Structure 1
Amino acid sequence: MRSCRSPVSDQAADSFPCNREQVGGKGMFLQRMKKADLPVPPFECVTAQVMNALAQHPLDTRLLDRYFPGIVYDPEAETSLTSIREYLNSLPPSEQTKRNNWLAGLAEFIVSDDYYEQIKDSEAARQIRRLRHELDRLYISQPVIVRSSGINEDNYGDAQAGKYLSLVQGNEDILRTCLKVMASGYRSEVCPEGIPQPMALIIQQCIHCRCGGVAMSYKSFDDDTISVEFTPGQPRGAVAGQSGNTPHRIDISRKGRKRADSYQYFPGTISSQFTLHKNNNGYSEKRVDAVDVQANDGGQLLSDKMVSKLGKLVKKLEKLLFCPVNVEFAIDHWDRLFLLQVRPVTRLSGDMVFAMPIPKETLAIGEGISEGFCTGPLWLARKPEAATMPQGAIVVAHHAEDWMLVPEFLKRVGGFVLAEAGFNDHVAILMKQEKITLMRAGGQYSALFAQDGQQATLACARFKNKPGAFIVDGDIAETLATYRSLTSVVFDALSTKPVPSREDLSPPEGTFDQVARGFQWLTDQNARLLAFFASGGGLDCLENPVKLSMSPQRSEILAEAKYNLKRLLYGAEVLLEGYRAFLLLSGDSDSPWIKPPLAELPQLNKRFKTLKKTIRSMLETIRLPLKADVEGPLSTVTFPEWLDTCHQLKSCLQALNPEKAEKIRSVHELIFVLHRRFVNALAKVTLASDQGRLSSSGSIKYIHCAVSGNPNEKAPLLKPTCKALIEKSGLSGRVIIADGVLIVNLELGSHLCLIELFENAEGGKGRTLRLKFSDQFYEDDGIDVTAKLKRMWFLVQILKALELDKDADSMKLCCNAVVGEIIVECTRIKTTETMQDAFEKLLTALCGMCDLDRDMLHVDLFEGNQWNFNLLAQRLNGDLTAEADRFAFQHCLFTMYYKKRIHYTPHCFKLLPSHHRQFIHYAKRFAECRDKGSCDKSEDNFRKLLMSNEITEQTRKELLHHLLFLDAERIAPLVEDVYPDLRHQCYVLKPLSCGYRLSFDVPPGQSLADNREKVKKALLKHGLQYASQQLRNDKELILTIIAARPECLEFASEKLKNSKKVVMTAINQHGCWLQYAGPKINDNEEVVKAAISHYPRALVYASERIRRDKNIIQMVIDEHIDNLSYASERVLNDRKYLLDLIAHNSRAFISVARNLKRDMDFIRSAIHRNPSVVKHVDEELLASYYSTEFAGS
């Protein structure tokens, strides 16, 4: 081992340098706070230089043997901690265990008398004591605490909170306390790759606290509150996270309100607190358990004035660090507030969003502390069994303990569920930093005891844009992954995607010699500039400025954004100049049509110049506070103002209001305006320049651009069949035809649908077909945005099914949420004919999209039916051969016809592969079956069609799943026909499952006796229609279900529908349920009388025999004569009986059989029996009656 001798006499440097390398993260921020006159307790910094002097102090190697057994060194040579550390670091990875053991020995040696005696009289030791005496000079006999201040501690992006010790000086030399803290940096668990990190120390006055805790200026990206957590006594009770406490919490609103009621208090659960005790000449922190919670009511610990003061200080700290902050505070017994330390917040929740609600069936619901999800066995925390904990286990514990936080244990953990925990303590910070899911379960914690070893899924995230946390039975990780709204934008890292250079953004020489060439460059430049706004386009950091502020690379990211922004502004300037050059191709600037566009150019230039000045000013406002992270902000701007400026800059770049775009309030609006201008000018420039000719057909204008001097001009790419399709579409637009180029602009609202065909596209892509399809997401046209997004998704699926990329490279898809656009591109197409065929398919598909958004509004394609551009991008890149995507596409086709959303067949559907056309065919057939009568009859019709030989087994299963999703009541009884292995089994289907596999609330293969409660719970929730035939025939179960949900009688077995007891259970709740009884019960007088006793209309469901029983009929007409209509047809044709009834009540005539109502003899008899009948007789027949009667007289 190399020996080392270092002089130490020059190590006592100035104790107040302000850089991280000398005073560490904690020391640097403390000095910034002191300089800003914030209430920081007096402190001194033991610099890294002084600590390094201790590490380099020569040691007597004879005292090292018992700390480093087996180590080889020269016994005659002097050595030091530094040389020992370097030796350990030189060991190969295969000797990691030996390194860890010797590191532990090194930590033990540092706190030993052997080491202390050797260094106690060193210059470094004397410097440490002088610093301690400086504090005594200011405040005699006050306690002090020694805190670590690692060089990499409390950094942007890496907090390392709680990684090292903080110790109150006891009845000992301050040097010993410092050595204990120093030794905590030599533990193997805190040494990445076995290398202890450089460390400084803070000696700080320790406050006698009435209460203390930690404040966090943001809880999540979507949050607008300052969260303060605190406990009685020393801050450690709230800060450490291993005390079994859920701290009291106060959320302070940022909404600008100044009243004391602008915060909300949430009481915690305090089971212990820490107090400061005097020990002879020193102090110690003592833990006191079983605290009287009532005596320490958190609501009384912080006054309104204190809450207001704390909120203001937190905002000042945000300005100091220019990011969300985590600050430890203390309040002494004289109600004085002290800020003990501050660090940047490194992780916030809000990145993980699922387009689904929290499941209704959960094992526990709690509060998410660390975002994420995981699946694994539940493991009740038991320290003696920690080594045998299953990999990926979800640890269930009352609170976090030290043994759970060691790296070896955390590597095997899937997630944590704790009864008591804080949002802002060291454990919470560690879990967020390590991306380990953590949920606080509170009172629901005990519900998990009985689930030990059970496979479960834990999730803490946002569900349907609301924060939530839950744990459910089983593995739903795949489901969660399916509904996760993945963000492709990385807001807090440097971009890996190159942006166009100045050369890329400048037109090549000769571009504006030709109309076709100039127009093509303008079109391409438009696309290049819009790409800046897409994900990965170079300006992503403005999407989430809070996240940007937390990044360790924030200055570099903004420098990169500035570079990209300069490119965007340059590109926009060149586009404006290119538009002018394009106009001048007409040759005559005095032409009446060209004067107005040329005259407006100075105004456009002026507006853009003003906009550029505003953008540059905003960018500098954003960059200035972050230019000197080491020295602190150089700006008077507050953090909220900085965030507002970021949002305003984003708006100045990306905002678009097509109706007011002429005002050029954003770069996007300039691009939009110029695009519209040069497209509209194309025809006139082409004619005026004599470089082409115009033709038109309906609303389509054709611009034939000639390229002079090209003897090899090829046949145009526009085939007659494609031309006919364009004209048949009924859309307005322009078609630009040039040599090797075809550009079709079809108007779709304020934006354009652009199709481009190139024989030789840019970047060596060869023959290329490209579609840019946008929609009107920015204005209210009465159509739901979700429906428009579904249409975009469906268009792409149609193109995939039509094999648009046949004989080409794979189809490439891109989404630009800012523009509301998708881009579909097929490159390196083998032949011109293939490209033309693909173009024809594309046109056919686009023509089929007209108004399809309205048809798709109520078509559910994915579970949760959540849609946004982020989800669209994720779903567009799905694989039609994958089950979920195949189900969604075929379900869309099936639903349109089964639910009769459309009554026509778009031509593009006829081009689909035969399997998809079959789905459309059978959807129509099943719709006919559904419409052919009663539910029972339609069930038979469905079975006959579904089980017919014309349908293959695979198709039969797929059709069943679509029908189950849409019409479970009719289709569920057919499940066992299609899946015969399910016969005679107990199961409950899961409703609305999107896929080609049966999903179960209660799976088959289990007995009803073992799962009765689970079955009952599922059926009461979803209904009996999802039950197996076996369950539908279980009388005891059905009685239970019908007692709670009588409408479920409809789905009981035929046997039980003829059970008097079962039917009476339903009828006793309402007579209407007689409609679902079997024929035997419908013919039971007692049952029918019970039904009609409080619902006379139930007579219509009775048997023919009972409906002609005049005694029973009398019962219903006693309630109201109109109930006569429910009697049998035979009774309603009984002249004598009916005339007797009419004699008593003329309204009886209304219910008589139709033929009697037109029988003049019957009408005459009825009027003679009761003249009031004339009010109910048809006017024409009544006139005939009168003419006959009076003619006779």
Structure 2
Amino acid sequence: MLPETIDSQIPKTNPEQNTGAGSSASRAGCSLKRYFSDLDLSDVSHPTWLSKRNCWSPVSDQAAGCSTANREQLGGKGMFLQRMKKVGLSVPPFECVTAQVINALEQHPLDNLDHYLPGIDRELKAETCLKNIREHLNALPPSEQSKRDNWLLGLAQFVASDDYYEQVKDSEAARHIRTLRHQLDKLSRSQPVIVRSSGINEDNYGDAQAGKYLSEVQGEEDVLRTCLKVMASGYRPEVCSEGIPQPMALIIQQCIDCRYGGVVMSFQSFQKNTIRVEYTRGQPRGVVAGQSGNRPHRIDIYRQDHKEEAHSYQYFPGTISSHFVLHKNNNGYSETIIDNADAQSDDSGQKLTDKMVSDLRDAVTKLEDLLLCPVDVEFAIDHQGRLFLLQVRPVTRLSGGMDFAMCIPKETLAIGEGISEGFCTGPLWLAKKPQADSMPKGAIVVARHAEDWMLEPGFLKRAGGFVLAEAGFNDHVAILMKQEKIALMRAGDEYAAVIAQDGQQATLACARFNGEPGAFIVVGDLAGKLASHRNLSSAFSDVPPGKAVPSRDDLSPSEDALCQVASGFQWLTDQNARLLAFFASGGGLDCLANPIKLSMSPQRSELLADTREIISRLIYGAEKLLQGYEAFLRLAGDSSSSQVEPLLDELLHLSNRFETLKQTIRSGLESVIMPMQAAEDGQLSPVIFRHWLADCHHLQSCLQALNTIQAEQVRSVHELIFAVHQRFVNALAPITLASSQGKVSLENRITYVDHRTPSETAPLLSPACKASLEGLVFRKAIVVCMDEALIVNLKLGTHVSLIELLERAEGGKGRTLRLKFSDRFHSADGSGSPGKLKRMWFLVELLKAIELDKNAGSMKISCNAVAGEIIVECTRMRSRENMQEAFVKLTNALCSLVGLDHCLSPITLFEGGRWSFNRLAQRLDAQRLDSDASAEANRFAFQHCLFSMVDSSRDGIVPECYQLLSKHQQEFMDQGRCLVKSKDNVWEVLMSDQVSEDILRELLHHFLLSHPGNAIQWVEFLYPHLKDQYYVIKPSYSYSLEFDVPPMQLLGGQKERVRSFLLKHGIECASQRIRNDKDLVLAALAIDPYSLEYVSEKLRSDKQVVLAAVSREGYCLRYASPKLRDDEEVVIAAMEDYREALEYASDRIRSNKKILSKL
């Protein structure tokens, strides 16, 4: 049994001495080990009255030893507090009630619980205790979920009740808790304490569980009562995600009487590492919970690595409607709310001092280094201005991962601040607690601020998103919404506009729009549009990649692979592809591209271990590539030509450079992995967090970066692969000649290398294939002919692209045609070269249009951003002849691409025109993944490319490829060319009987995108119902008319609505009726005189209208009618602004010396 008193057995400590992070945990753990480890109740067979029982519980030796990093005993909060204390951060004194002590309480035998858990005594065969009840609940089948929830609710009430307190108050565990409280009294007897939960799974990487459990200031004489209230919060059904209460420890911490309190987040998004502080006066509770209706004061602290803003910060005053103060009562303390009747938004009197801000910056930076990730810190500043760090947790979710290639819509109900990313469509629902059960599923909840009932799991599952008038960025509500991936917007002053639409169907979106953060709510359903414009995330996933990484066996050549020139070249080509696959999305190196997300992952150590192995394989594969290349060169024999000798000499240089690179990579791996191991062990990282992030990026660069011009410097593995690839392709012909293993010929800048064995079988390179190759306008090409393979290397800029015809492709693909089309990009994601990405997209759509896969089992498209390539693969082709026909189609398509990137670069093909490799991959995959709408958008964009080709100086696509298009597409191009060439006689083309009206309507929509001002004139010819209507066309990326101002006859105040729009956007897309309305035209010209180009012929002959334009911009004289260009007053008015306007005057005026003398 335990001794009657345990005070004397607690080791004494000097209150002024820093005993290290393990002090309180060690005292608790070691005490319990001495007291409980020898107890065994397995042989107890006789009943004992509760009043005479003691808390006898077996405790495992393993749990008893509490190291400073022991989450299993200290819980998440306790573990991090111990680490903070160990590195000397200003943490208020605290003691840990370990999970072992809580477990002892849970094993305490209990009296009848029927009042709280009806029927429990009948169902439990073992002695009644919380532990046995937990085990019983865990064994309940899913069908009894309701019963489990009811019992959990009863348990939570019981643990917080006087009944439970009376039964356990005399237990050894209870006395131990009071002893821990007594230790804090030795430091400061009058100091209040707060009891905090420290769940084993709380404050974890990837799952914060913020706000799920209770923190309570000791308000009773016995601290045990407060501990039981906090302990009870872990039994509530809403926090038992796994069906049963999770193990918990508790923290008893001195409670600071705060002048200011709040929360700090060290990162705002993946793109922004500004430290954001939110606080109020008084206790942190006014900020932490997020349910007080406050907009906290905010300070954004800029990092020292922002040179232009180093050591600076910006203050944003909040609106504080209430705050909490520490209030002493008869038995303890409480946090009392104080309502601020005169809340102001510019309360500069509550601004933190420069020293406070500096202290926060330094503390947060040190915590990032300790946890090696972005951190969420609760802090207090006492009335003497001293900073205390109350708790810390890893940030589990950051904004910036959701991006849409579109702008925020013009017509919004409200624009606010996005707190949690997401988007949804549903009815606006004004929050009312009594009606919570009747809220429509998927509704957008609108409220002044969050309340407890809104955060219950069942309610959150039914809610689509939240719009709050006031909310914080750092509080528990924000963290919960981010964790649950529920959109949350702070509406601020625009809240009234939202509640006025209660019940309306609306769309809420909080994300990045064209790379900039934003949040809006708009009436109607925009979910489909948002989904179709969403950029694929470049961030890695915690889920293990589905793509298999090549094994070492895969990366090693077979014994005979490098014995012959043909098989050696084939192996080198395949090895090049295998190595580049490491750089593709899902290839295993993704986490290095987003080290911030890596640092926040619960699997971060495992991910880094996997990355180490994948890098090892990549290095191994690159070594085999070098060795294979050397063996390939050696095939030239002793009589190696003068072309091969320099390659052997250069190989030594490449090998030496690669050895140096490998040392750099090994060092880089250590710089990334060792700090992570230290952080996992609770040690202060040997490098600061931001340097660790830089080390991750540097390691990624050593693997993936590519400078094609200086690739022989081998600053990365990618550069080695690139350099070797170029060299073995160039070496093929001389090695073939030197080895006498094939024939080499040069025809029309194409080198043919023939490695076929004598056979009567027709070669893969048929006469038609050869003729199509000779039509390619590239610098040079190398064609390798083998018995069962045809490999064509094409020089495209600085990259080599590859076409393969394979009789027996790997992986059982059978007859396969494969294209690897690569290009040179100026940025890693390709965003700096939109024309090249559009050309890749057009190529794929063109190959679909000419039915490249007509006789294939499938056509697979993939992208590799790091290699700057797309891969098109048609597998399981029916016959060799089918492969050859497809080859001819492919080469004809490639002929049409020359210079197309320059043609397409300025042209917008989709709404939200930002391009990147991720966006390219999404657009190529959209038709497979999405609805008919995506297929129609692709069709419009493809035909817009065809239209742009005939609209520019290009001749379109080559005739051989043109003939492969559908009859509709051919007619579309033909009629488009006619319209473009007959700009002055468009009506003749429109009135021709030989032109299909459907084709004309399609062409109209493309003209509206490219030349809206000129195309408007024939809208009403093709859409007669619009004649004499007032409207403004919105050029769209579809074959249906869209309007900024819908068709109408002007009544009442509608003319003012039209005028307002024209003043903002001009009349370029306005209807003929508007262009002929003098009042509206004059209003538009007052803002933009150049709108004279688009007014009706009648008004271009109106002197008042023309003078209104040319007097402000003389250049506009060119748009006036011939009559007014012959008017002296008009010409003089134009020339007073722009003397060169004389060029547009009539011949009479330009030759009239009398008029000229006046000028």
- Same fold, TM exceeding 0.5? yes
SS of equivalent residue, structure 2 residue 554: helix
1:749 maps to 2:797? yes
Question: Per-residue deviation at 1:823?
Answer: 1.0
Aligned to 1:87: 136
Question: Per-residue deviation at 1:899?
Answer: 4.4
- My pick for the range that moved more, 571-580 or 381-390, is 381-390
Aligned to 1:567: 617
Instruction: Tell me how far apart the structure 2 counterparts of residues 1114 and 687 of structure 1 sit (CA, whole Å).
Output: 79
1:247 maps to 2:296? yes
Aligned to 2:818: 770
Residue type at the aligned position of 2:402 = M
Aligned to 2:1015: 971
SS of equivalent residue, structure 1 residue 167: strand
Aligned to 2:4: none
For residues 317-357 of structure 1, give each alpha carbon's deviation from its aligned partner in whole angstroms, at most 9, with x where no partner exists.
11111111111111111111111000000001111122222
Aligned to 2:219: 170
**CA root-mean-square deviation:** 3.7
Question: Per-residue deviation at 1:444?
Answer: 2.3
For residues 225-247 of structure 1, give each alpha carbon's deviation from its aligned partner in whole angstroms, at most 9, with x where no partner exists.
22222111111112211111122
Contact 1:159 1:344 in 2 (8 A): yes
Aligned to 2:100: 49
Question: Per-residue deviation at 1:943?
Answer: 4.5
Contact 2:584 2:866 in 1 (8 A): yes
Change (3 A) 1:169 1:627: same
Question: Per-residue deviation at 1:17?
Answer: 5.9
Q: Which has the larger radius of gyration?
A: 1
For residues 180-212 of structure 1, give each alpha carbon's deviation from its aligned partner in whole angstroms, at most 9, with x where no partner exists.
111111222111143222111111100011101
Aligned to 1:729: 776
Residue type at the aligned position of 2:865 = A
Contact 1:238 1:422 in 2 (8 A): yes
SS of equivalent residue, structure 1 residue 758: strand
- My pick for the range that moved more, 10-19 or 627-636, is 10-19
Aligned to 1:854: 902
Instruction: Tell me how far apart the structure 2 counterparts of residues 1126 and 1031 of structure 1 sit (CA, whole Å).
Output: 26
Aligned to 2:597: 547
Aligned to 1:677: 727
Aligned to 1:914: 967
SS of equivalent residue, structure 1 residue 879: helix
Structure 1 unaligned segments of length 5 or more: list them: 933-937, 1074-1090, 1151-1193
Aligned to 2:23: none
Which of 87, 99, 113 aligns to 2:148? It is 99
SS of equivalent residue, structure 1 residue 627: helix
Change (3 A) 1:1006 1:419: farther
The 5 Å alignment of 1:407-426 reads 407-426=457-476
Instruction: Tell me how far apart the structure 2 counterparts of residues 260 and 825 of structure 1 sit (CA, whole Å).
Output: 52
Change (3 A) 1:1064 1:98: farther
Change (3 A) 1:452 1:734: same
Question: Per-residue deviation at 1:268?
Answer: 1.9
1:19 maps to 2:70? yes
Aligned to 2:55: 8
Instruction: Tell me how far apart the structure 1 counterparts of residues 1131 and 1043 of structure 2 sit (CA, whole Å).
Output: 47
For residues 952-989 of structure 1, give each alpha carbon's deviation from its aligned partner in whole angstroms, at most 9, with x where no partner exists.
54x34323322222233333354454345656776543
SS of equivalent residue, structure 1 residue 116: helix
Question: Per-residue deviation at 1:378?
Answer: 2.3
Residue type at the aligned position of 1:962 = H
Instruction: Tell me how far apart the structure 1 counterparts of residues 80 and 759 of structure 2 sit (CA, whole Å).
Output: 72
Instruction: Tell me how far apart the structure 1 counterparts of residues 56 and 1130 of structure 2 sit (CA, whole Å).
Output: 116
Contact 1:1072 1:1097 in 2 (8 A): no
Contact 1:322 1:633 in 2 (8 A): no
Aligned to 2:443: 393
Which of 535, 550, 557 aligns to 1:500? It is 550
1:688 maps to 2:738? yes
Residue type at the aligned position of 2:84 = M
Which of 272, 275, 282 aligns to 1:223? It is 272
Instruction: Tell me how far apart the structure 1 counterparts of residues 1131 and 648 of structure 2 sit (CA, whole Å).
Output: 89
Contact 2:317 2:346 in 1 (8 A): no
Instruction: Tell me how far apart the structure 2 counterparts of residues 15 and 561 of structure 1 sit (CA, whole Å).
Output: 32
Residue type at the aligned position of 1:787 = G
Residue type at the aligned position of 1:963 = F
Residue type at the aligned position of 1:850 = V
For residues 709-758 of structure 1, give each alpha carbon's deviation from its aligned partner in whole angstroms, at most 9, with x where no partner exists.
xx657322112232223233242121111111111111112211211111
Aligned to 1:1175: none
1:184 maps to 2:236? no
Percent identical pairs in the alignment equals 61
Aligned to 2:711: 661
Residue type at the aligned position of 1:869 = F
Change (3 A) 1:296 1:786: closer
SS of equivalent residue, structure 1 residue 194: coil
Contact 1:624 1:633 in 2 (8 A): no
Instruction: Tell me how far apart the structure 2 counterparts of residues 818 and 1127 of structure 1 sit (CA, whole Å).
Output: 57
TM-score, with structure 2 as normaliser = 0.88
The 5 Å alignment of 1:835-846 reads 835-846=883-894
For residues 252-276 of structure 1, give each alpha carbon's deviation from its aligned partner in whole angstroms, at most 9, with x where no partner exists.
2223479985222222222211110
Instruction: Tell me how far apart the structure 2 counterparts of residues 811 and 470 of structure 1 sit (CA, whole Å).
Output: 40
Aligned to 2:196: 147
SS of equivalent residue, structure 1 residue 546: helix
Instruction: Tell me how far apart the structure 1 counterparts of residues 426 and 127 of structure 2 sit (CA, whole Å).
Output: 53
Instruction: Tell me how far apart the structure 1 counterparts of residues 410 and 136 of structure 2 sit (CA, whole Å).
Output: 58
SS of equivalent residue, structure 2 residue 122: coil
Aligned to 1:815: 863
SS of equivalent residue, structure 2 residue 927: coil
Residue type at the aligned position of 2:818 = R
In the alignment of these two chains, the number of paired residues is 1099
Aligned to 1:636: 686
Which of 941, 944, 950 aligns to 1:891? It is 944
Structure 2 unaligned segments of length 5 or more: list them: 1-41, 48-52
SS of equivalent residue, structure 1 residue 224: coil
1:718 maps to 2:768? no
Residue type at the aligned position of 1:191 = C
Question: Per-residue deviation at 1:478?
Answer: 2.2
1:998 maps to 2:1041? yes
Change (3 A) 1:726 1:531: same
Change (3 A) 1:478 1:1125: closer
Change (3 A) 1:414 1:594: same
For residues 150-207 of structure 1, give each alpha carbon's deviation from its aligned partner in whole angstroms, at most 9, with x where no partner exists.
1111000000011111110003321111111111112221111432221111111000
Contact 1:489 1:535 in 2 (8 A): no
TM-score, with structure 1 as normaliser = 0.85
1:608 maps to 2:658? yes
Contact 1:171 1:281 in 2 (8 A): yes
Change (3 A) 1:277 1:441: same
Change (3 A) 1:251 1:834: same
Instruction: Tell me how far apart the structure 2 counterparts of residues 1006 and 331 of structure 1 sit (CA, whole Å).
Output: 65
Residue type at the aligned position of 2:281 = P
Change (3 A) 1:1097 1:972: closer
Instruction: Tell me how far apart the structure 1 counterparts of residues 387 and 913 of structure 2 sit (CA, whole Å).
Output: 50
The 5 Å alignment of 1:1025-1044 reads 1026=1069
Contact 2:320 2:344 in 1 (8 A): no
Contact 1:492 1:547 in 2 (8 A): no
Contact 2:196 2:250 in 1 (8 A): yes
The 5 Å alignment of 1:860-875 reads 860-875=908-923
Question: Per-residue deviation at 1:300?
Answer: 5.1
Instruction: Tell me how far apart the structure 1 counterparts of residues 370 and 471 of structure 2 sit (CA, whole Å).
Output: 29
Instruction: Tell me how far apart the structure 1 counterparts of residues 962 and 711 of structure 2 sit (CA, whole Å).
Output: 38
1:951 maps to 2:951? no
For residues 1025-1073 of structure 1, give each alpha carbon's deviation from its aligned partner in whole angstroms, at most 9, with x where no partner exists.
545677778898778767767777887789xx6899xx78846744689
Change (3 A) 1:51 1:903: closer
Instruction: Tell me how far apart the structure 1 counterparts of residues 855 and 642 of structure 2 sit (CA, whole Å).
Output: 49
Question: Per-residue deviation at 1:294?
Answer: 6.5
Question: Per-residue deviation at 1:923?
Answer: 0.7
